[in-house]
Amino acid sequence: MYFNIQRFSTHDGDGIRSILFLKGCTLACSWCQNPESRSEKRSLLFDPSLCLSGCSACLEVSSAITRDHTDAVIINRPAVNELYLDRLKTVCPTKALSVCGEQAHTDLLCEQLLKDKPFYIQSDGGVTFSGGEPLMQAELVRDIAQRMHQEGINTAVETCMHVPWKNIESVLPYIDCWLTDLKHTDAQKFKLWAKGSLSRIKNNFQRLAKQAKRLVIRVPVVPGFNDTRAELQEIVDFAVSLESCSELHLLPYHTLGSNKYNLLDIKYLCSDKPLNNPELLADAQLYAQNHPLSRKQFTVKIRG
Ligand code: SF4
């Protein structure tokens, strides 16, 4: 299952890229800006500000949707089944209701991704798998990445590393660049904020570092979670200890996707303000650059 192909991206890997966003994630990070990607099934989004008064198109195709005494549309989400989603996909005239997620077919996806092959080749770009957690669908990633390699196209994957090692191993020969997340080094805090096992991630890092062609570690810097000097320094210590890690990216927290939580009717529990602490990021950058284990080719970037 996938939910988007973003063409002409210049942010997720080198050059001009297409990003294939796959559904489903094994973590539930409080600050996640793509909450529509969490479920491996299709998701229903509803924006009341676009809903037309007097319209009943969605009510006619799904008994899970009603209007209350104020005429507001009410969705009984647990009652929204696959059949309703099929019907709701195209029924709303204003896109107040939209369904996120499409069945993935390898051939069709490759066909779409290959449309921009000339741009990838000219710019040293390629195809990036993202999500959600793309390696939950490792077989699909492997098949598409293998096809891209046959076409001479560079591949990258953005992963939280919270997957069984066999999923990583199965795509390894076909991935040129690993854009990996390291969010914390404290297992309890990680469990509390991201709902996952840090030891699984660390074990995967130790194994991947021995085999990855290129390993980039990305750190979302989130208020209240890891925005202290000591926490960032411990993350840097771990990143630098992985011999093949060539880059560390510090990603300051933003809130650009927080409205999606309203559309999905989920509570957003993270800060409503972006991280505004350039000194902290500069300090962590300096710490990494001057680290005794840091190598010549190790670079640290602060991304916007
Ligand atoms: S179909 Fe769209 S515009 Fe019509 S009632 Fe439903 S949500 Fe509102």
Question: What's the 31 CA to ligand 1 centre distance in angstroms?
Answer: 29
Q: Which burial class, exposed, middle or buried, applies to 82 when counting CB atoms under 10 A from its CB (0-12, 13-18, 19+)?
A: exposed
> Which alpha helices (H) appear in the chain, and where do they start and end?
57-61, 82-91, 106-114, 117-123, 138-150, 165-171, 187-194, 198-208, 229-241, 259-264, 278-289
Asked whether 90 lines ligand 1 (CB < 6 A), one says no
What is the CATH number that goes with domain 2-38+102-302?
3.20.20.70
Instruction: List the one residue out of 122, 172, 177, 136 whose CA is nearest residue 154.
Output: 177
pLDDT for the residue 290:
87
Instruction: Give the number of the atom of ligand 1 that is nearest the alpha carbon of residue 95.
Output: 2
Domain boundaries, given as residue ranges, for the chain: 2-38+102-302, 43-100
Say if strands 2-9 and 245-252 run parallel, antiparallel, or are unpaired.
Answer: unpaired
Tell me, what's the pLDDT at 164?
98
Spatial CA neighbour of 3 closest among 163, 129, 171: 129
pTM: predicted TM-score of the whole model, two decimal places: 0.94
**What is the per-residue pLDDT across 143-187, written as a single tens digit (0 to 9) for each?**
999 999 999 999 999 999 999 999 999 999 999 999 999 999 999
Q: Is 204 within 8 Å of 165 (Cβ atoms)?
A: yes
C-beta 55 within 6 A of ligand 1: yes
Ligand 1 within 6 A of 97 CB? yes
Name the stretches of the chain with pLDDT < 50: none
pLDDT at 153: 98
Task: Please tell me the predicted confidence (pLDDT) of residue 289.
Answer: 87
CATH number for 43-100 (one of 3.30.70.20, 1.10.760.10, 3.20.10.10, 3.40.50.850): it is 3.30.70.20
DSSP class of 93:
T
The number of the ligand 1 atom at minimal distance from the alpha carbon of 65 is: 6
Which atom, in ligand 1's list, is nearest to the CA of 52?
3
Residue of 194, 175, 176 whose CA lies nearest to 186 = 194
Q: How many other β-carbons are positioned within 10 Å of the β-carbon of residue 209?
A: 18
Quote the radius of gyration of the chain (alpha carbons, Å). 21
Predicted local distance difference test score (pLDDT) of residue 182: 97
Q: What is the pLDDT of residues 104-140, one digit of tens each?
A: 999 999 999 999 999 999 999 999 999 999 999 999 9
Q: Whose CA is nearest to atom 3 of ligand 1?
A: 51
Other CB atoms within 10 A of residue 113 CB: 23
Cβ(91) to ligand 1 under 6 A? yes
